[in-house]
């Protein structure tokens, strides 16, 4: 009987995280890199425990699509290529031969062991920042997604830090994202990462998407991840964005200590 092969992809290229305002000479920059290191240790240890193959990419594929496209729209050019260095993982993943593939940002912490989510094709985590809630901010991300829902209907928006892919869907999904990123005409840009392209794919092929909750992608402080119970009930904690210390400090003290103590 053929062995069921599971692969987990992570990347560290460039400085390893989004946020070009960070000064590499400051302590906060080093603290961010420390958090990333501890999170990656947790993923690698989990893969070893489960018998999954762990692939870490450190190679720059020389993607340069995000800055030119954002400039074309009229936005300021970023001072780095971190969005390309992140999104290029879909090209690396495309060449993976496996029955089940996971793409994890390098700042996700496997807090608790879990079984693979049951999906037919693609498993995406709901971006809770993009759902209606009773504390929305005017003229900020909340407002942007209010407009998106008026245009597209009340459909989910993905948080791309955790992605689950059946091997049979790998080519269709990752080729779709790569082609979307590399072509001249982009879909509407709802944020600065490849999530706009993932969203476009999910709208085009809704039948291929299984939407997953915060137990697979808990970002402390965001809607549905604000209480200690929310956080402790999650399998994966995602310390995302450039302000990782702010999210880290939202964890209960014993969980902060547990993350620090990962060997």
Query: Is the per-residue pLDDT at 195 higher than 80?
Result: yes
* 69-79: average pLDDT: 85
Q: What are phi and psi of 211, to 5 degrees?
A: -90, 130
| pTM of model > 0.85 | yes
- Alpha-carbon distance of 77 to 117, in angstroms, equals 38
Query: Is the per-residue pLDDT at 70 higher than 80?
Result: yes
* 86-100: average pLDDT: 96
Which one is predicted more confidently, 27 or 178? 178
Strand ranges (E), 32-182: 53-57, 100-104, 108-110, 122-126, 158-166
- Give 88's contacts (C-beta < 8 A, 6+ positions apart): 11, 13, 60, 61, 63
* 207-223: average pLDDT: 96
Residue 47: what pLDDT? 98
Strand duo 6-11 + 53-57: pairing:
parallel
Query: Is the per-residue pLDDT at 79 higher than 90?
Result: no
The angle formed by the CA atoms of residues 181, 22 and 259, to the nearest 5 degrees, is: 90
Which H or E run contains 128? none
- Domains of the chain, by residue range, sit at 6-260
Which one is predicted more confidently, 76 or 253? 253
* 129-143: average pLDDT: 74
Which H or E run contains 237? strand 236-238
- Alpha-carbon distance of 242 to 20, in angstroms, equals 8
- Alpha-carbon distance of 123 to 209, in angstroms, equals 6
Which H or E run contains 106? none
- Band the pLDDT of 198: cuts 50, 70, 90: very high
Query: Is the per-residue pLDDT at 142 higher than 90?
Result: no
* 50-76: average pLDDT: 93
Which value, in Å, is the radius of gyration of the alpha carbons in the chain? 18
* 91-117: average pLDDT: 97
Residue 132: what pLDDT? 73
Superfamily of domain 6-260: Spore Coat Polysaccharide Biosynthesis Protein SpsA; Chain A (3.90.550.10)
- Alpha-carbon distance of 232 to 108, in angstroms, equals 15
Residue 182: what pLDDT? 97
């Amino acid at each position: 009987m053929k062995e069921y092969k599971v692969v987990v992809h992570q990347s560290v290229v460039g400085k390893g995280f989004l946020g070009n305002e960070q000064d590499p000479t400051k302590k906060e920059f080093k603290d961010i890199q420390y958090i990333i290191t501890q999170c990656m240790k947790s993923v690698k240890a989990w893969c070893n425990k489960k018998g999954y193959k762990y692939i870490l990419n450190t190679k720059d594929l020389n993607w340069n699509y995000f800055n030119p496209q954002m400039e074309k729209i009229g936005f300021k050019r970023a001072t780095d290529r971190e969005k390309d260095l992140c999104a290029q993982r879909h090209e690396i993943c495309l060449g993976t031969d496996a029955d089940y593939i996971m793409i994890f940002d390098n700042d996700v912490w496997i807090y608790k062991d879990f079984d693979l989510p049951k999906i037919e094709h693609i498993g995406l985590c709901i971006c809770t920042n993009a759902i209606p809630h009773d504390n929305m901010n005017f003229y900020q991300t909340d407002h942007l997604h209010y407009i998106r829902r008026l245009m597209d209907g009340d459909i989910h928006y993905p948080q791309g830090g955790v992605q689950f892919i059946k091997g049979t869907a790998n080519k269709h999904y990752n080729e779709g994202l790569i082609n979307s990123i590399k072509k001249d005409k982009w879909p509407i840009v709802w944020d600065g990462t490849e999530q706009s392209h993932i969203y476009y794919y999910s709208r085009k092929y809704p039948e291929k998407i299984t939407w997953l909750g915060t137990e697979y992608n808990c970002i402390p402080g965001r809607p549905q991840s604000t209480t200690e119970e929310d956080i402790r009930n999650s399998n994966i904690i995602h310390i995302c964005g450039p302000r990782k210390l702010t999210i880290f400090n939202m964890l209960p003290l014993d969980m902060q200590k547990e993350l620090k103590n990962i060997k």
